[in-house]
Chains A and B, each alone.
Chain A
Amino acid sequence: MIKAILIFNNHGKPRLSKFYEHYSEDTEQQIIRETFHLVSKRDENVCNFLEGGMLIGGSENKLIYRHYATLYFVFCVDSSESELGILDLIQVFVETLDKCFENVCELDLIFHVDKVHNILAEMVMGGMVLETNMNEIITQVDAQNKMEKSETFIFQSPRQDR
């Protein structure tokens, strides 16, 4: 099971945080800080797996991370997930973001964090992998976005785009 998915930048500023187990708000922030601390210490040429920090289950859980340009993508998982499989999953996630935002960069994640959540919701649900086919995910996300847009038109309300 995936316990949490975190995206933060090289300075530790969170760009997305999704927890699949409940923690209090304070603990969530502490976990983000602790994870950043652990992950930012790593060299570029070491393996992508770490024991989890104390707050998120210690050595029962692993942190699997990938560093793309200015962002760290970190998945905290327990022992039932395959480490190499999660690495591939992160890759699929990033490629999907790339397709949806066209050459995605950190700014896209900053200004459209709700869209990123929507994409993630089509991939991981309740801590488990839902869909791994990139095209499938994109199709569904596009359809839902179209629904939103059409509502704006139908209801003649002020632009809801955020």
Chain B
Amino acid sequence: MPAPIRLRELIRTIRTARTQAEEREMIQKECAAIRSSFREEDNTYRCRNVAKLLYMHMLGYPAHFGQLECLKLIASQKFTDKRIGYLGAMLLLDERQDVHLLMTNCIKNDLNHSTQYVQGLALCTLGCMGSSEMCRDLAGEVEKLLKTSNSYLRKKAALCAVHVIRKVPELMEMFLPATKNLLSEKNHGVLHTSVVLLTEMCERSPDMLLHFRKLVPQLVRILKNLIMSGYSPEHDVSGISDPFLQVRILRLLRILGRSDDDSSEAMNDILAQVATNTETSKNVGNAILYETVLTIMDIKSESGLRVLAINILGRFLLNNDKNIRYVALTSLLKTVQTDHNAVQRHRSTIVDCLKDLDVSIKRRAMELSFALVNGNNIRGMMKELLYFLDSCDPEFKADCASGVFLAAEKYAPSKRWHIDTIMRVLTTAGSYVRDDSVPNLIQLITNSVEMHAYTVQRLYKALLDDISQQPLVQVSSWCIGEYGDLLVSGQCEEEEPIQVTEDEVLDVLEGLLVSNLSTPVTRGYSLTAIMKLSTRFSSVVSIYGSSIDVELQQRAVEYNALFKKYDHMRPALLERMPIMEKTASNGPTEIVQTNGETEPSVPDTKHPPLVTQPANQVTARSHDISVFTIDGSFFVTDDVLLNQWFNI
């Protein structure tokens, strides 16, 4: 059998493929060759074949038949073999295959190998994909290596220990003695990974956290040395001495100082020093400053320091670099709850970020703006946010609309302003408003009694312009159904009343019924509205009795029956709805199976659990009319009840 081709050759060949099919064919041919080569148990070329297999795996082709071969490579004496074998193990194996346990013995031997690079490979593999069983077996070896003086191995052992702790948290105690003098290392690699290990232990166990608090002075000293030391070419990145280590230490300090006054005080000075002395012209400096700010905000720092931190964030917001602005907005979002006033000072800059071109920045600015809205700035902020709603991408509109509704509800300075704001949102972003907002809006409108005439007039005018935005149409239909008489009688006080006749109103509603733009839910709303108007207007309405939609058909036929057999009840049934109290669960409850019109759940004891049945399981209660009363405690839904009462 000819020698298997080299990896380079394979890659070259595959790159000549012009189509996916051609590539697949080449790969399959090579896979077959590799399989036969594996079957021959040839040690010489195994390494080469596995390398090729890994390449094919990266391109997305199945490579699991190479798993055992990786194990054979790991067991080999040659470094070259081991290197590829371990790489293959990391890429192809995981703890779900039993095969991986066979590695345990090899790794154990290699952890005690005489060559440090072999030990390194073993540590690396164990630290990447070691399962809990493997970790349990080998934790002792790792712990031994954590105490070695070889810095190359020590740093790897530290990260491997982190992985072991993640897999088997009970073993954390075991590594405690070895951590004693980790921080006195001079080697920065070891320092870095030791800090990572300490961070992991502190995050997992409050006892460890208490234990390690005493390390705060030592950490502060190391950080100080890093800042004060002169230029050190080894660790220098853009003029700053080992920024990665600085950031790690700052993070550990954050965790240690979190709810502890003493520790927080011990770090105050160094934090102030880092915050004021760090060079901000390059990304590295800003990375350190960012971490410092997060730490200051999280520990029990004194107020002067906190103000310094927020001001740094404010400066970040004005930075040209988009990444810095993004990071600033993210941190401000985290601190806006606790330091609300300080963040308010930067409100105008944040609002400017709404106009940024970058989607990630816009989203954060939007979230932050909503967090900053309060009773004092509601008018100004809402203007900006509505402008944003007009011009933003569709992916933001739903969230922005919901946010506007929430903010308006909490801080509206007047009912008229509130209704105007709702109208504005419905007309500009009407199609993006969430379905569950519709019942909430209806409930809000019924609550502002004196605004009914104004509201219905504005909604009617909006309908004349545009019937494509479903939430707008639904709310408008409902209002017209309820307050159509106010509309026709021209009672509006807030603005110039319009002249409209009953026929015109009915035409508009019927137009909605037949329009192709209306969804079935919308048609349901408009049908019901027409029905209600039949009691408020003097002319009798004909009913839309045939429809492909089953829901509409059922309603129409039931309405028909209602008004043929029980016409005397019609005024009572379709009387104006009482004001709905907002309850805790004001939204679609289990009762409402229809189109989401709100039903505050006030079950009447006289009224049997009819309402808990889904709408299509109707019992024949058409003769039990006496139960059907409208008094203060009994809320009528115009749709659910009707459908359930008249079973045709």
Contacts and interface: CB of A to CB of B under 8 A. Distances in A.
B544 interface: no
Given A130-B155, A152-B80, A162-B51, A84 B127 contact: no
Contacts of B237: 88, 92, 132
B242 A132 contact: yes
Interface in B574-611: none
B83 A148 contact: yes
Interface residues of A, number: 55
B8 A155 contact: no
A111 B286 contact: no
Contacts of A121: 87, 124
A135 B361 CA distance: 36
Nearest to B363: A51
Contacts of B243: 85, 88
Contact of A84 (B95, B159, B327): B327
Interface string B232-270: 001101000011110100010000000000000000000
A152 to B, nearest CB: 7
B8 A111 contact: yes
Nearest to A137: B189
Contact of B60 (A29, A46, A118, A148): A29
Contact of B95 (A22, A83, A158): A22
A49 B360 contact: yes
Interface stretch (A12-20, A70-78, A96-104): A12-20
Given A135-B234, A136-B189, A158-B3, A47 B58 contact: no
A69 interface: no
A25 B60 contact: yes
B628 interface: no
Interface string B73-99: 000001110011001000100111000
A47 B189 contact: no
B326 interface: yes
B323 A82 contact: no
Contacts of A133: 188-189, 234-235, 242
B506 interface: no
Contacts of A55: none
B553 to A, nearest CB: 39
B358 A155 contact: no
Interface in B164-209: 188-189, 192-193, 196
A111 B11 contact: yes
Interface in A112-159: 113-114, 117-118, 121, 125-133, 135-136, 140, 143-144, 147-148, 151-152, 155, 157-158
Contacts of B3: 158
A130 B190 CA distance: 9
A54 interface: no
A144 B79 contact: yes
A94 interface: no
Contacts of B322: 45-48
B96 A126 contact: no
A89 B244 contact: yes
A140 B153 CA distance: 11
Contact of A49 (B87, B94, B326): B326
Interface in A27-51: 29, 43, 45-51
Contacts of B58: 14, 16-17, 113
B128 A128 contact: no
A105 interface: no
A130 B193 contact: yes
B283 interface: yes
A100 B127 CA distance: 25
B287 A131 contact: no
Contacts of A162: 6-8, 47-48, 51-52
A125 B127 contact: yes
B244 A132 contact: yes
Interface string B313-352: 0000000001111110010000000000000000000000
Contacts of A144: 79, 83, 117
A88 B159 contact: no
A158 B44 CA distance: 8
A20 B128 contact: yes
Interface string B514-531: 000000000000000000
B466 to A, nearest CB: 31
Given A46-B359, A128-B162, A132-B192, A88 B244 contact: yes
A51 B79 CA distance: 40
Interface string B97-122: 00000000000000000010100100
Given A25-B60, A88-B284, A125 B159 contact: yes
A157 B360 contact: no
Contacts of B358: 43, 45-47
Given A47-B360, A157-B44, A125 B117 contact: no
A85 B11 contact: no
A157 to B, nearest CB: 6
B139 to A, nearest CB: 14
Contacts of A29: 60
B291 interface: yes
B328 to A, nearest CB: 11
A155 B76 CA distance: 13
Contact of A50 (B251, B290, B360): B360
A49 B358 CA distance: 10
A22 B244 contact: no
A38 B129 CA distance: 28
Contacts of B127: 125-126
Contacts of A158: 3, 44
B115 A46 contact: no
B397 interface: no
20 contacts: A14-B58, A16-B58, A25-B60, A43-B357, A82-B290, A110-B11, A110-B15, A111-B8, A113-B54, A117-B87, A125-B123, A125-B160, A126-B127, A126-B162, A127-B128, A144-B117, A148-B79, A151-B78, A158-B3, A162-B51
The 4 closest A-B pairs by CB, nearest first: A84-B287, A162-B7, A47-B322, A126-B127
Interface of B: 3, 6-8, 11, 15, 44, 47-48, 51-52, 54-55, 57-60, 62, 78-80, 83-84, 87, 91, 94-96, 115, 117, 120, 123-124, 127-129, 152, 155-156, 159-160, 162-163, 188-189, 192-193, 196, 234-235, 237, 242-245, 247, 251, 283-284, 286-287, 290-291, 322-327, 330, 357-361
Given A18-B91, A125-B159, A132-B245, 5 more contacts: A14-B59, A84-B283, A84-B287, A88-B237, A133-B189
